[in-house]
């Protein structure tokens, strides 16, 4: 039986091993992704992001426990933590908060190091999500690196993005900046038993009131990747709700799951589900295209020639911009 | 770009609550460029084997200070084997009497480290056994 067939049949070891191949971007991983791709597109992808220490992992733990106990859904979790920029090593500690899910074959937790990516995810996260989707998980939760203000890649990947806040982390100016709060489909104020919870909620609410309802389709860097959005029905805009939770006591979790389901329903009714799928696949394509072009460039460009041009930049003879123009011209000769 | 990272699960089975050693080792492995999945205190052998499977690790490092190593180690090896993870190498650190070391190695433990063991040695031996 092929490894892909084993995954479709629910073999957990085969799944774990293919995830490694996909993460390492090996030829085996790529061919598995190609075979699995037709089986994708069914799972609800939920992103969980927020500053370090806001309680993302503990929240995910309780949320998944709810899905397992009350909704009998199979859930996969990809938990991303940062890699050291110096050694490339990582300590991935999200499992420490997810002990409740141990021993449950309907939940699968995979820790992942960011390996130098800066958007809050790793390069292979999208591929790993596809593997879980094809393997038949109803829900795939991606927990990002503890994110600051602009690690917003998750919003391109997920159908529903939760931004987790905690009391005492910033004032209302933080709340009107662009970036992470803007990508929230649902705002979660975790650790709601802590003092200051009213202020945090008030700041978030005033941010929402200031906002014009903006179309929530993502801008791409490349001009070629604009997404054709199907004509939308005249449906109400989704205003991100604010949900208080206390993960340690499982308070607010059921309500949060309710809001997530409501958001999924909204996406389907409004047609945003389709436009988000398209935006996600185009941004995945764009990233792959960039990698592929870079690889082709590297394989065509003799290292000596590259270094020679580099030297001219170091001596201020060429500007970096001129150097790039020169190299690209050379490489397509 | 193809990357080969050594993935290590660092776990503390049993009931003793001292995880300083496990954290020091986790940090040292991180600084050696490995990806360390840290699971925390009071893990059952089943929890450890389950995590090792999901994370597809190359190495499981157990920290045991309670004296229960002769019961916990064979159980974890058995569960890994049952899951089909026969290629995973298991290392133990902690308070392990010298007399038990040959028995542990015979049952399939790849390395045993007591107090005073250097983290450099641990890193070196893991690298040797995984990459060769």
pLDDT tens by residue, B76-105: 999 999 999 999 999 999 999 999 999 999
Closest CA to A216 of A184, A188, A178: A184
pLDDT of B33 above 50: yes
Minimal CA separation from A114 to chain B, in Å:
10
A-chain residues near B5 (CB < 8 A): 24, 88, 113, 115
Question: Which residue carries 């790793």 as its tokens?
Answer: A122
- What is d(CA A201, CA A214) in angstroms, rounded to the nearest whole number? 21
Tokens of A96: 């420490």
Question: Which residue carries 């927990």 as its tokens?
Answer: A143
Q: Which of B3, B22, B23, B28 to mutate to test the interface with A (most CBs of A within 10 A)?
A: B3
Q: Which of A77, A95, A290 to mutate to test the interface with B (most CBs of B within 10 A)?
A: A95
Cβ within 8 Å, pair B38-A99: no
- What is d(CA B92, CA B59) in angstroms, rounded to the nearest whole number? 11
pLDDT given for residue A219 in this prediction: 53
pLDDT given for residue B46 in this prediction: 95
Is the CB of A96 inside 8 Å of chain B's CB atoms? yes
Residue of B nearest to A111 (CA): B55
**Would you say A17 and B56 are in contact if contact means Cβ atoms under 8 Å apart?**
yes
Minimal CA separation from B110 to chain A, in Å:
22
Confidence of residue B41 (pLDDT cuts 50, 70, 90): confident
**Would you say A104 and A68 are in contact if contact means Cβ atoms under 8 Å apart?**
yes
B-chain residues near A95 (CB < 8 A): 37-40, 51
Cβ within 8 Å, pair B47-A102: yes
- What is d(CA A277, CA A281) in angstroms, rounded to the nearest whole number? 6
Is the CB of B83 inside 8 Å of chain A's CB atoms? yes
pLDDT given for residue B2 in this prediction: 43
Phi, psi of A309 (to 5 degrees): -65, -40
Under 8 Å CB-to-CB from A142, ≥6 apart: which residues?
A45, A46, A47, A48, A77, A78, A80, A121, A125, A129, A154, A157, A158
Residue of A17, A92, A295 lying closest to B37 (CB–CB) = A92
User: In a 10 Å sphere around its CB, with 0-12 CB exposed, 13-18 middle and 19+ buried, how is residue A120 labelled?
Assistant: buried
**Would you say A160 and A260 are in contact if contact means Cβ atoms under 8 Å apart?**
yes
- What is d(CA A304, CA A183) in angstroms, rounded to the nearest whole number? 44
pLDDT given for residue A225 in this prediction: 46
Residue of B nearest to A96 (CA): B39
pLDDT given for residue A176 in this prediction: 53
- What is d(CA B16, CA B18) in angstroms, rounded to the nearest whole number? 6
Query: pLDDT tens digits for chain A (333 residues)?
Result: 788 899 999 999 999 999 999 999 999 999 999 999 999 999 999 999 988 888 999 999 999 999 999 999 999 999 999 898 889 999 999 999 998 998 899 999 999 999 988 778 888 999 999 999 999 999 999 999 887 666 778 888 999 999 998 888 765 556 556 567 788 999 999 999 999 899 888 888 887 777 655 555 555 544 444 444 444 444 578 889 999 999 999 999 999 999 999 999 999 999 999 988 998 899 889 888 988 898 888 888 888 999 999 999 999 999 999 999 999 888 776
User: In a 10 Å sphere around its CB, with 0-12 CB exposed, 13-18 middle and 19+ buried, how is residue A134 labelled?
Assistant: buried
Taking the mean position of all CA atoms in its chain, how far away is CA A169? 23
Question: What domains can you pick out in chain A, each with its CATH number?
Answer: 40-272 (3.40.50.300), 301-331 (no CATH)
pLDDT given for residue A205 in this prediction: 85
Minimal CA separation from B95 to chain A, in Å:
23
Q: What is the DSSP letter of A181?
A: G
Tokens of A203: 């700041």
Residue of A17, A25, A96 lying closest to B56 (CB–CB) = A17
pLDDT given for residue A217 in this prediction: 54
A-chain residues near B51 (CB < 8 A): 95, 102, 109
Taking the CB of residue A212, how many other CB atoms lie within 10 A of it? 5
Question: What domains can you pick out in chain B, each with its CATH number?
Answer: 7-131 (3.40.50.280)
pLDDT given for residue A74 in this prediction: 97
ipTM of the predicted structure?
0.91
> Cα dihedral sign for B76, B33, A142, A252?
positive
Tokens of B82: 């049952």
Cβ within 8 Å, pair B51-A96: no
pLDDT given for residue A295 in this prediction: 87
Query: How big is the A-B interface in CB pairs under 8 Å?
Result: 84
Cβ within 8 Å, pair B40-A109: no
Phi, psi of A80 (to 5 degrees): -100, 130
pTM of the full structure: 0.88
Under 8 Å CB-to-CB from A332, ≥6 apart: which residues?
none
Q: What is the mean pLDDT of residues B9-32?
A: 91
Is the CB of A88 inside 8 Å of chain B's CB atoms? yes
- What is d(CA A217, CA A208) in angstroms, rounded to the nearest whole number? 18
């Amino acid at each position: 039986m092929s490894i892909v067939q084993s995954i479709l049949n629910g073999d957990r070891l085969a799944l774990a091993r293919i995830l490694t191949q996909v993460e390492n971007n090996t030829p085996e991983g790529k061919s598995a992704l190609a075979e699995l791709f037709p089986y994708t597109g069914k799972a609800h992808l939920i992103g969980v992001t927020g500053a370090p220490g806001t309680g993302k992992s503990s929240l995910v733990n309780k949320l998944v426990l709810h899905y397992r106990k009350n909704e009998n859904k199979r859930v996969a979790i990809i938990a991303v933590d940062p890699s050291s920029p110096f050694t490339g090593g990582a300590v991935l500690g999200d499992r420490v908060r997810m002990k409740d899910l141990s021993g449950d074959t309907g939940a699968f937790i995979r820790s992942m190091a960011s390996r130098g990516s800066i958007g809050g995810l790793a390069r292979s996260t999208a591929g790993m999500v596809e593997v879980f989707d094809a393997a038949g998980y109803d829900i795939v939760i991606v927990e990002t690196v503890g994110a600051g203000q602009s690690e917003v890649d998750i919003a391109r990947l997920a159908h529903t993005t939760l931004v987790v806040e905690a009391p005492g982390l910033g004032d209302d100016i933080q709340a009107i900046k662009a970036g992470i709060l803007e990508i929230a489909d649902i705002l979660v104020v975790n650790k709601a038993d802590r003092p200051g919870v009213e202020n945090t909620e008030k700041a978030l609410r005033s941010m929402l009131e200031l906002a014009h309802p903006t179309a929530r389709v993502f801008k791409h860097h490349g001009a070629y990747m604009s997404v054709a959005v199907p004509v939308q029905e005249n449906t109400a805009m989704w205003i991100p709700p604010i949900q208080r939770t206390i993960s340690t006591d499982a308070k607010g979790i059921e309500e949060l799951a309710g809001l997530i389901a409501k958001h999924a329903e909204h996406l389907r009714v409004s047609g945003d589900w389709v436009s988000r799928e398209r935006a996600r696949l185009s941004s995945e394509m764009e990233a792959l295209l960039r990698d592929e072009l870079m690889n082709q460039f590297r394989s065509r460009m003799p290292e000596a020639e590259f270094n020679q041009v580099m030297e001219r930049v170091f001596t201020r003879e060429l500007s970096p911009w001129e150097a790039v123009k020169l190299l690209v011209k050379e490489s397509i000769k | 770009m193809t990357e080969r990272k050594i993935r290590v699960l660092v776990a503390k089975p049993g009931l003793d609550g001292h995880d300083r050693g496990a954290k020091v080792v986790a940090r040292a492995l991180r600084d050696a460029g490995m990806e360390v999945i840290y699971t925390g205190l009071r893990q059952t052998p089943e929890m450890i084997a389950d995590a090792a499977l999901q994370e597809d690790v190359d190495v499981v490092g157990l920290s045991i200070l309670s004296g229960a190593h002769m019961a916990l180690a064979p159980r974890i090896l058995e569960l890994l084997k049952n899951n089909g993870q026969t290629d995973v190498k298991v290392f133990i650190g902690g308070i392990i009497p010298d007399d038990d070391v040959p028995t542990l190695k015979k049952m399939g433990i790849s390395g045993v480290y007591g107090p005073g063991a250097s983290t450099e040695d641990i890193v070196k031996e893991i690298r040797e056994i995984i990459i060769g």
